[in-house]
Amino acid sequence: MAGESLTSSEYVQHHLQNWQLSLGKGSFWTLNLDTLLISIVLGIIFLALMYLTARKATSDVPGAFQNFIELFCEWIDNSVAENYHHKRSFVTPLAITIFVWVLLMNFMDLIPVDLAGSVISLFTGHYDAYFRLVPTTDPNLTFGLSITVFLLIIVFNFKSKGGLGVVKEIFTAPFGIWLFPVNVALRIIDEFVKPLSLSLRLYGNLFAGELIFILIALLPWWIQWTLGGIWAIFHILIIFIQAFVFMMLTVVYLNMAQDKH
């Protein structure tokens, strides 16, 4: 086990602590630098790969990677078409971006938990540097993603129905104008549950997976790789499912926002 000088409790707490920058003594605003760094780097890698693939795309015999990208985009577009019954020119690229970006961030959970500390120690000389590799185990990031979806839902509502249409729907659906207090209460609950469920589902599943990897790292070295390998194989399924669920719920919520009730 890396970090033998730490107790088991200290080891777990160390790996669950973000590399942070406070914007002032006693300030409420604190940046999780590892979350920002890893998510931005993965986003740049994703955009660069897509850009290079598009630049080299050919209508003749495509290469293996172009074939893979085309099949992947077609699969996402078909999934969107089944759940979004309006023009897809914006929503399909959004769905591709969400799925790939969340998937890449989730995949960081498969990197051995002590690797980041070892790499950082090469530059700083301190093993005890805080650094978390999985951005989606940070609730700040998952809430940030879900709030973006929430804002898109509001925009799609107003774009589809107009201001008066949205107000009318809030006060009259689903029980009619005479029960408008109930309608308004249900609408508020419904709208705020969407981003809350999106963020907590992604965060909870990835945080649990990360915690199990950390606990496995506390075991003797001769059993770590066996249990870690088994859990990693199972966790790959979770990684894909959570990225897909986040994408599909976003698509469904945007479709609901455009439907007239």
Instruction: Reply yes or no on whether the pLDDT at 151 is more than 90.
Output: yes
Rounded CA-CA distance 232/239 in Å is: 10
Q: How far apart are CA 136 and CA 108, in angstroms?
A: 9
| pLDDT over 90 at 261, yes or no | no
- Per mean pLDDT, which of 56-60, 70-74, 171-175, 218-222 is the most reliable? 70-74
Average pLDDT score, the chain: 89
pLDDT at 1: 45
Mean pLDDT on 196-210: 95
Residue 22's beta-bridge partner residues? 30
The pTM assigned to this predicted structure is 0.90
User: Taking 80 as the threshold, does the pLDDT of residue 195 lie above it?
Assistant: yes
Q: What is the pLDDT of residue 5?
A: 66
- Chain-centroid distance of CA 148 in Å reads 12
Beta strands in the chain (DSSP E): 20-22, 30-32
Per-residue three-class SS string for 71-121: HHHHHHHHHHHHHCCCCCCCHHHHHHHHHHHHHHHHHHHHCCCCHHHHHHH
pLDDT value of residue 141: 96
Alpha-carbon distance values, 193 to 30, 90, 186, 188 (Å): 26, 24, 10, 8
Q: What pLDDT is stored for residue 26 in this prediction?
A: 65
- Amino acid 128: pLDDT: 61
Q: Which residues have a Cβ under 8 Å from the Cβ of 150 and sit 6 or more positions away?
A: 191, 194, 195
pLDDT at 124: 59
Name which residue leads in pLDDT, 256 or 224: 256
Active-site residue, 187 included: no
Range of weakest confidence among 112-116, 188-192, 243-247: 112-116
Please, which residues have CB within 8 angstroms of residue 158's CB and are 6 or more apart in sequence?
A: 166
- The residue from 8, 67, 78, 197 that is catalytic is 197
pLDDT score of 3 more than 60 = no
Catalytic pick among 140, 160, 201, 255: 201
The contacts of residue 12 (CB under 8 Å, 6+ apart) are 211, 214, 215, 218
Retrieve residue 219's tokens: 């075991």
How many residues are present in the chain?
Answer: 261
* Mean of pLDDT values over 189-216: 93
Q: Above 80 in pLDDT, residue 51?
A: yes
Side-chain-side CA neighbours of residue 39 (13 Å): 19
Q: Is 18 a catalytic residue?
A: no
Torsion 94-99-100-102 (CA) sign: positive
Higher-pLDDT residue of 238 and 130 is 238
Backbone dihedral angles phi then psi of residue 20, each to the nearest 5 degrees: -120, 155
Average pLDDT over residues 169-173: 90
Give the C-alpha separation, 136 to 106, whole Å.
Answer: 6
- Residue 111: partners with Cβ closer than 8 Å, 6 or more residues away: 133
Q: Which of residues 135 and 61 earns the better pLDDT score? A: 135
Determine whether 205 is an active site residue. yes
pLDDT of residue 126: 59
Q: How far apart are the first and last CA of the chain?
A: 58
Q: What is the pLDDT of residue 113?
A: 77
